[in-house]
Structure 1
Amino acid sequence: MFVYFIFSDSSNNVCIEDCIVSMGHDAISLKSGWDEYGIAYGRATENVHIRRVTLNAFSGSTLAFGSEMSGGISNVFVEHVHVFDSNIGVQFRTTKGRGGYMKEIVISDIQMYNVYIAISATGHCGSHPDDKFDPNALPHLDSITFKGIIGRNITVAGSFTGIEESPFTNICLSNIDLSTSSISSAWECSNVSGSSDSVNPKPCPELQNPANSSSCFYLLSTSGRKASAL
């Protein structure tokens, strides 16, 4: 099945599978409300399974989380994805004033070709709908696992820019092999912490703690079976 765009906002028990998505901006986008309105509505996007899809996003991200995520995004399992000719492979987006969380997400068995940034997370993305947002509503990003990713013709392996007052935590990288043109600039990191195992090129020091089960969680897949993150 060929589709142009998939958008999920404050949804649960979602399965996206066996399709090709090609878009000028984001191909698949998961959201859950915008600032104080998403916080007040309080409905998370959760229990999402994405598998066996082919994605292309020329100027955006093939798989985007946020930036509107004030109701929370959790329990997402992504597996067996092909990404090609895209700006960013997988990206998490948020900013101060959002509140909410993105947590317990596994990105597994991904093949990328000709992608500028393979994986990204930024805490400085998106505008506000009005001036009623709470600047002290800090979003939280925690327990995100990337496992089994192969990339060729990649410019930047990873870019993680967290929020100083609310750093990104428990970013887990395992069995990742990305061919980049410059090893010295392959990773960009600030206000982030995590662990890694068998990652090439070697990630920034903030992500080089040894991987262990206490920080890399286990996710219940949509079939009800436990899927090991690491």
Structure 2
Amino acid sequence: MPTQQLVIRWLTCISPTSAVIALGSEMSGGIQDVRAEDIVAINSETGVRIKTGVGRGGFVKDKYVKGFTMHTMKWAFWMMGNYGSHPDDKWDTNAIPIIQNINYQDMVAENVTMAARLEGIASDPFTGICISNVTIGIS
């Protein structure tokens, strides 16, 4: 079953070794219709992370993030399609994830090491990625 119709609002988070919002990697049922608004991240590894890889299957679709403020981050955005961890050698090499319709709007970040780490899957492009009205101050 997919995880769907999530609303994350009015959150303040400190996460020095991980993401404030992370979607994936074990998502064979999929994740869709996620809305995150009015989030404050302080001293965190990344603001928003999507992680998946070949063999995971599933999908991340229709994610909308608005009004996100970040202070002292490693990355503001991190999408990785090469998350290679599998529990055993019986995973399906044909299970390709779908990443589409990801929207980031009205975001501000300061003291960031790198604006983004974006690593897709060569044979399976991530589509419909929109980043608008985003300001990132690099440290």
Q: What is the root-mean-square deviation of aligned Cα atoms in Å?
A: 0.9
Which residue in 2 is equivalent to 1:67?
25
Which residue in 2 is equivalent to 1:196?
none
SS at structure 1 position matched to 2:137 = strand
8 Å Cα contact 1:74-1:102 kept in structure 2: yes
Which residue in 2 is equivalent to 1:17?
none
CA distance in 1: counterparts of 2:111 and 2:18, whole angstroms? 18
* Higher Cα Rg, which structure: 1
Which letter does structure 2 place at the counterpart of 1:137?
Answer: A
Q: Does 1:163 align with 2:121?
A: yes
Unaligned residue ranges in structure 2 (runs of 5+): none
Which residue in 1 is equivalent to 2:70?
112
Q: Does 1:52 align with 2:10?
A: yes
CA distance in 1: counterparts of 2:5 and 2:48, whole angstroms? 18
**Which protein is richer in strand relative to its size?**
2
Which residue in 1 is equivalent to 2:134?
176
Greater relative contact order (CA < 8 Å, ≥ 6 in sequence) = 2
- Report matched runs for 1:184-195 at 5 Å: none
**Which protein is richer in helix relative to its size?**
1
Q: Does 1:141 align with 2:110?
A: no
Unaligned residue ranges in structure 1 (runs of 5+): 1-42, 182-230
Which letter does structure 1 place at the counterpart of 2:79?
Answer: A
Alignment equivalent of 2:58, drawn from 65, 75, 100: 100
Alignment equivalent of 2:87, drawn from 120, 129, 134: 129
Q: Identify if the C-alpha distance between structure 1 residues 67 and 126 changes in structure 2 by more than 3 Å, giving closer, same or farther.
A: farther
8 Å Cα contact 1:143-1:170 kept in structure 2: yes
CA distance in 2: counterparts of 1:52 and 1:86, whole angstroms? 17
Dislocated runs of 4+, deviation >6 Å: none
State the identity %: 37
Displacement, 1:69? 1.2
TM-score computed with the length of structure 1 as normaliser: 0.59
